[in-house]
A = this chain, B = another copy of it.
Amino acid sequence: MKYLVHMDVNIPRDLPAEERSDLVAREKEYSQQLQREGKWPQIWRVVGQYANYSIFDVDSHDELHQLLQGLPLFPFIDIQVTPLAVHPSDVKA
């Protein structure tokens, strides 16, 4: 089941540099692990912003919430979720 997820990241300036770089590194690792598992099949940078649009492919709302809540940067991300259905014109459906 697909979801369009918009993530807008705002890391506080007063976060210690080391903590920040550690969080960013763990965020990348976490994201790439989910990408490899097929649960986060696509991620794009929104041009000019510290933000992304992503496609998630999971079995339930609960699973998606667990994955998003587990993001190392979760406390600093404003997340909007849009459920996506199969489109009747989709040639791959």
Contacts and interface: CB of A to CB of B under 8 A. Distances in A.
Given A35-B91, A91-B35, A45 B85 contact: yes
At the interface, is chain A mostly helix, strand, loop or mixed?
A: mixed
A4 B85 contact: no
Contacts of A68: 47-48
A92 B65 CA distance: 18
Interface string A1-35: 11111000000110000000000000110011001
A3 B44 CA distance: 10
Interface of A: 1-5, 12-13, 27-28, 31-32, 35-36, 42-49, 52-53, 60-62, 64-65, 68, 75, 79-92
